[in-house]
Amino acid sequence: MPTKSAGMVITDEQGRVLLILREDVRVWALPGGQVEDGETFEDAAVREAKEETGYDVTIDRFVGEYWRPRHPKGGDLLRLYRGHVISGDTSQHGWEAVDVRWFDPERLPRRLSPFAREHIVDALSHDHPVYKEQYLPWVWRLAGFVLLLRRRLRLRPPSH
């Protein structure tokens, strides 16, 4: 069964975008994650932003819906929102992020997650919701396979 996820493009008064440096793959990404049972997409976006950045945020608008058919478990439906910080600080960010920083949208980091640039452009340039199908570039699929393989090798019990 396809998964459901929610994400946020969080901006400040200067127009900067908040990104997290992911702990697992060490790329910069937008805050977001899986929608839990009984949770709305909006609630998941706000919760994930808090967990990953330390900030309490509010949603300003719905950016769009992204269908990713090649994700594991039969695909992933992502709903993306644009929002801003209302309180909190980065000292409270969770373990999933090793760093939280503001970036000028014209100077985003090179090591950016595969869809983040497109999501940021959509959030900053469209006033109406977008509906897109997204496919992970082959190099990212290969990197994901290598990461999964490394994790499985580390989790094997020692042989005697």
CA distance 76 to 43: 17
Mean pLDDT of 20-46: 93
Q: Which residues contact 5 (CB under 8 A, 6 or more apart)?
A: 32, 33, 34, 35, 44, 76, 77, 78, 79
Map out the domains of the chain with their CATH numbers: 3-155 (3.90.79.10)
pLDDT tens profile 135-144: 866 555 555 5
Q: Which two tokens stand for residue 47?
A: 């919760």
Q: What is the pTM of this model?
A: 0.82
Confidence of residue 96 (pLDDT cuts 50, 70, 90): confident
